[in-house]
Amino acid sequence: MYRIGIDLGGTEIKGGLLNEEGEILHKVSVTTPVTDGFEGVCKRIAELVDELIKMAGLQRESVKSVGVGIPGLCDERGFVYIAVNLYWENVPLGERLRQIMGLPVYIENDATVAAIAEATKGSMKEVINGVLITLGTGVGGGLILQGRAYSGNHGLGSELGHMIIGENDYNCNCGSNGCLETFASATALVKYTKSLLKEGNFNSKLRHQLKDNLEDLNAKMIFDLAKEGDEIATKAVNRFIKYLAIGIGNIINLLDPEIIALGGGVSKAGSFLIESIEAEVGKYVFFKKGKRHCKIRLAELENDAGIIGAAMMGIKRED
Ligand SMILES: [Zn+2]
C-alpha cells in the first residue's frame, strides 16, 4: 500500500507518494493558486494527487490515505478555522477533499506534521513523548505525546511560539505581548540586533558587513559572528538563547519529554545553538539537582519533512 503527503504552503504545494516505510517514491510541486480561492486550491491538490498516482503507475485503490499539512489551524476532521497565507477562514477542507478525491484524507497544522515526520524518520524516531520547535520567521511547535500527534481538544494547542515568556517592547502578530516568537524567531533576532546597531555604542563587524544597509541583516550573519565573539552579535544571540531556554524550561516542566528537537532555519546554527541552550536551560527547569533527562537535539529532516509527516499522519491516526 502507498500513502500520499501534501505540504500545502502559501506559495507552493508539494506532494509525494510514499511507501509504508515512509520512503518518497515520487515527488511533484506546483504553485499554490491562492487567487483561485478555496475551491481552486482544492482542485489543484486533487490534480496533484492524480498526477502522483499516474507517475507511479498505480491503481487508485492502492493509495491508503492522503495527508495534508496546512499553514493554519484546523480540527480533527480537517475543518480549517484560519490559514492566513491562503486567506481562508472557516473552510471545510477535509470534507471537500474527501468528496473530490474519494480517498481517506487527514489534515493537520504544518508544525505538527513536521513533528510526525521527525517521529517517523528523524530526530524523534521511536520516541514516545517528544516536542519539535521550529525556529524560523516565526516559532512553531509540534507535540508527540504517548506516541501520537497532539494538538489539543479543538486543534488549537501546541502553539509553542505563543507561550508568554516575558514582556517585550512590541506586540506579537497574534495581538499578545511577550510571545516566545517575539524573542526567539529569526525575525525577532534581526529586529533586536538592528536596534543595537542603531544605538551605536558597540563595536561590531556587522557594521562593516552591512555597509549601513541594515535591510541585508539576517539571522545567519548574526549567529556566524556570535560564534566569533563579535560584541553586538553575542549580545543579541545571548538574549535569543535566554528566552528560548525559558520556553524550553517551561516545556520540560510541563511535559517532561524524552527529546526536544529544534528545527527551522535558525537550527542551521547547529551545535553552537544546542550547546548554548544546554548551558542556559538548567536555570529554568524545576528539577535542578539530578541529571537532566530531556535531550535537546537538532531536527534531522529538512525540506521533505512536510511531505513525509503528512503521508505518515494516516498511520498515526489509524492505529
Ligand atoms: Zn503571539
Residue 140 inside a domain? The answer is yes
Q: What is the pLDDT of residue 97?
A: 98
Query: Residue 185 Cα, ligand 1 centroid: separation in angstroms?
Result: 11
Domain boundary among 110, 142, 165: 110
pLDDT per position as a tens digit, 44-97: 999 999 999 999 999 999 999 999 999 999 999 999 999 999 999 999 999 999
Residue 103 inside a domain? The answer is yes
Residue with cell 499578545: 176
C-alpha cell belonging to residue 240: 535569543
User: Mean pLDDT, to the nearest integer, of 5-20?
Assistant: 95
* Whether 127 and 96 share a structural domain: no
Boundaries of domain holding 268: 123-300
Query: Residue 201 Cα, ligand 1 centroid: separation in angstroms?
Result: 31
Rounded CA separation 96/195 (Å): 47
- Is it the case that residue 31 has pLDDT exceeding 90? yes
User: Mean pLDDT, to the nearest integer, of 175-201?
Assistant: 93
* Whether 50 and 135 share a structural domain: no
pLDDT per position as a tens digit, 147-156: 999 999 998 9
The pTM of the full predicted model, rounded to 2 decimals, is: 0.92
Tell which wins on pLDDT, 206 or 13: 13
Q: What is the pLDDT of residue 187?
A: 96
Residue 268 inside a domain? The answer is yes
Confidence of residue 209 (pLDDT cuts 50, 70, 90): confident
Rounded CA separation 269/92 (Å): 39
- Is it the case that residue 319 has pLDDT exceeding 60? no
CB 130 within 8 A of CB 260: yes
What torsion, rounded to 10 degrees, do the Cα atoms 172, 175, 176, 180 define? -30
Q: What is the pLDDT of residue 49?
A: 98
Q: What is the pLDDT of residue 43?
A: 98
Query: Residue 138 Cα, ligand 1 centroid: separation in angstroms?
Result: 9
User: Mean pLDDT, to the nearest integer, of 259-282?
Assistant: 96
* Whether 158 and 40 share a structural domain: no
* Whether 165 and 241 share a structural domain: yes
* Whether 65 and 148 share a structural domain: no
Query: Residue 170 Cα, ligand 1 centroid: separation in angstroms?
Result: 11
Rounded CA separation 26/189 (Å): 37
Query: Residue 74 Cα, ligand 1 centroid: separation in angstroms?
Result: 18
Q: What is the pLDDT of residue 284?
A: 95
CA 227 to chain centre: 25
Q: Strand, helix or coil at 21?
A: coil
Residue 244 inside a domain? The answer is yes
* Whether 102 and 194 share a structural domain: no
Residue 310 inside a domain? The answer is no
pLDDT per position as a tens digit, 228-240: 999 999 999 999 9
Domain boundary among 77, 110, 143: 110
- Is it the case that residue 291 has pLDDT exceeding 80? no
Query: Residue 52 Cα, ligand 1 centroid: separation in angstroms?
Result: 37
* Whether 181 and 214 share a structural domain: yes
* Whether 213 and 260 share a structural domain: yes
Residue 118 inside a domain? The answer is no
pLDDT per position as a tens digit, 261-271: 999 999 999 99
* Whether 86 and 176 share a structural domain: no
Query: Residue 161 Cα, ligand 1 centroid: separation in angstroms?
Result: 7
* Whether 96 and 225 share a structural domain: no
Query: Residue 180 Cα, ligand 1 centroid: separation in angstroms?
Result: 7
- Residue 75: phi and psi, rounded to 5, are -95, -175
Reported as type and span, the H/E element at residue 109 is strand 105-109
Domain boundary among 110, 138, 157: 110
Q: What is the pLDDT of residue 302?
A: 80
Q: How does the average pLDDT of the chain come out, rounded?
A: 94
CATH code for position 50: 3.30.420.40
* Whether 204 and 264 share a structural domain: yes
Q: Who surrounds ion ligand 1 at CB < 5 A? A: 162, 172, 174, 176, 179
Residue 313 inside a domain? The answer is no
Number of structural domains, the chain? Answer: 2
Query: Residue 139 Cα, ligand 1 centroid: separation in angstroms?
Result: 9
- Is it the case that residue 318 has pLDDT exceeding 80? no
Residue 306 inside a domain? The answer is no
* Whether 148 and 96 share a structural domain: no
- Is it the case that residue 202 has pLDDT exceeding 80? no
